[in-house]
Structure 1
Amino acid sequence: MLADYHLHTEFSDDSVYAVDDVCRDAIRLNLNEICITDHVDYGIKPDVDHPELAPIVEGEPALNVDYERYFPALAEARDRYATDLTLKRGLELGVQRHTIPRYEQLLERWSGEMDFAILSVHQVDDAEFWTGDFQRGRTQREYNDAYYNELLEVVSHYSGYSVLGHLDLIKRYDPAGIYPFEKNRDVIAEILTRVIADGKGIEVNTSSFRYGLPDLQPCTEILALYRDLGGTIVTIGSDSHKPEHLGSYLALVRRRLAALGYTSWCTFEGWEPVFHPMNA
């Protein structure tokens, strides 16, 4: 079985990949299951009813998912391709400590239409990582510490998610190179302990390969720590935004997880993890 649990489509501000094309390509690639997880980033982007508040990126307003169109479109695609593909409905929530109430309102309205949600920290104090705005003016230690402390604060006060996305994301945008795991080990252990206590999981994000990172994301030290702390809920996702990303490295990551001692990986059904043997 192959399942890709981190996909972006035309409903994300950073993708034009049509839902129908994602489904057809997934079938062509022999994927059995996908979960579409388009972006919501309160603090940075407004909802579609306030385009005048949106930042302009490449000439277009950057907006959150249009929920009123998104969930019906996914439901229609799920039914249309049901013979050949299982499609689950999700979101990627770019949570910050000060935006938690917005996500609580969001899930109160839409959780019944969903199977799954990724919790990611893409920015701190509304400063983006991918632009370098957050790192600018800080030392490598300062922005790494601030990132993990923000993530700990978020998971300590918010549980409306299924898995943590690309837990060591800051590595992807670190101009100084890879910051040693041991320097943030204690706070990462606190994060994982809270995740496990809340019955949540983590993802392995296969975009590490296309970003040229030297290890998995999260790194093998984090995956080993999660395992040692008793964590068992692991999803695998490509973080696809384009056809060439879809389904990439899923089988390879499962082999890496098996080598680390994991015996199962997960999909989700109605917010509940479904465990699959690592070799199935």
Structure 2
Amino acid sequence: MTQHKGEIKFDLHTHHERCGHARGSIRDYIEAAIANGLQVIGIADHTPYFSYDKDQAFPKIAMGKSEFPEYVKEVQALKEEYRGKIEVLLGIESDFFPEHVEHYRTYFDRYPFDYIIGSVHQVEGVSIFNKNRWKGMSEQQKVKTKETYYRLIEHSARSGMYQILGHIDAMKGFYPEFSKIETEAVEHTLKVVGEYGLAIEINTSGKTKYVGGWYPTDEILELANHHGVKVTFGSDAHDPERVGDEFDLVAKRLKEIGFKEWCYFRQKERVSVPL
């Protein structure tokens, strides 16, 4: 771990046109970061669906497998080009499928990623953002679904593949009542995340969904602070205009909750930044 002296603005979660549902090139996001006063910008587009035979299994969700080496190459070239103007980090946002962890790991091990974000986007084969999954569910079923979600997040922490866990209550995105479903699974998961030394991101893209606001809730952040969980920042920008979105507001809130620092990652080593 290294310690950065003084304030620094960073955003570790940005996408671009390769994933099929974001606007703009990687260069557009880097330029937006410079314009918005950031010193560090991480590119972390969605991983291809490595476990499918087809090169491009889901064109509007993630890049094709053949695009993956090109993605890495482009970020590395831009890293060099922008050296001295802004630090560009090579990241990726990886879906977490417990049965495919080792398969994904073989792809990640080939390249010099600065960090990998592990995100659970599916629970029991259904997207966490599917508005209809909750219809007709009993309270008991809702609790079970939430516990399954957090069990997957816990498994992702234990996998050793990630430095950051993405949007750890994003299931509330189109179902705000999710936050009120009572279960001890949330705190249990945060304890594990703390033990394994991972960071969770404060992700400001919740404002683009029904729920508004950020992932995760203040209650989760208070628990995270209690259990020594590290925190980082990601706008989850799918549009260059959102790079660094609400960074200063998040920093202020984290200080109020009691955090003293947050972090980013370079060559998978944590760089701590005072709040």
Which TM-score applies when normalising by structure 1?
0.85
CA drift at 1:148: 1.8
Question: Secondary structure at 2:93's aligned position in 1?
Answer: strand
CA drift at 1:270: 0.7
CA drift at 1:188: 1.5
Partner Cα distance (1:146, 1:179) in 2: 13
Q: 5+ residue gaps in structure 1?
A: none
Partner Cα distance (1:85, 1:117) in 2: 20
Over 3 Å counting, the alpha-carbon distance change for 1:14 and 1:230 in structure 2 is: same
Question: Secondary structure at 1:241's aligned position in 2?
Answer: coil
Match of 2:145 in 1: 143
Partner Cα distance (2:109, 2:129) in 1: 30
Match of 1:239 in 2: 236
Partner Cα distance (2:65, 2:34) in 1: 27
Identity of aligned residues (%): 27
Q: 5+ residue gaps in structure 2?
A: 1-7
Bigger drift between 82-91 and 128-137 goes to 128-137
Over 3 Å counting, the alpha-carbon distance change for 1:134 and 1:95 in structure 2 is: farther
Quick one: higher RCO (CA 8 Å, sep 6+), 1 or 2?
Answer: 2
CA drift at 1:120: 0.6
Match of 2:221 in 1: 223
Q: Which one-letter code corresponds to 2:202 in the other structure?
A: V
Partner Cα distance (1:92, 1:214) in 2: 22
Contact 1:12 1:64 in 2 (8 A): no
Alignment of 1:67-106 (within 5 A): 67-106=68-107
Partner Cα distance (2:49, 2:133) in 1: 16
Contact 1:10 1:17 in 2 (8 A): yes
Over 3 Å counting, the alpha-carbon distance change for 1:30 and 1:264 in structure 2 is: same
Contact 1:238 1:248 in 2 (8 A): yes
Match of 2:118 in 1: 119
CA drift at 1:200: 1.0
Q: Calculate the aligned-residue CA RMSD, in Å.
A: 2.5
Match of 1:108 in 2: 109
Contact 2:157 2:165 in 1 (8 A): no
**Cα displacement string for residues 56-103 of structure 1 (whole angstroms, at most 9, x for unaligned residues):** 54xx98635822101110011111112211100001011022222222
Bigger drift between 88-97 and 125-134 goes to 125-134
Over 3 Å counting, the alpha-carbon distance change for 1:62 and 1:180 in structure 2 is: same
Partner Cα distance (2:59, 2:271) in 1: 39
Over 3 Å counting, the alpha-carbon distance change for 1:253 and 1:33 in structure 2 is: same
Which TM-score applies when normalising by structure 2?
0.86
1:26 aligns to 2:33 (yes or no):
yes
Partner Cα distance (1:181, 1:41) in 2: 33
Match of 1:165 in 2: 166
Residue-pair matches, total: 265
Partner Cα distance (2:26, 2:171) in 1: 29
Question: Secondary structure at 1:173's aligned position in 2?
Answer: coil
Match of 1:267 in 2: 264
Partner Cα distance (1:142, 1:27) in 2: 44
Over 3 Å counting, the alpha-carbon distance change for 1:190 and 1:16 in structure 2 is: same
Partner Cα distance (1:134, 1:31) in 2: 38
Partner Cα distance (1:235, 1:197) in 2: 17
Partner Cα distance (2:63, 2:73) in 1: 21
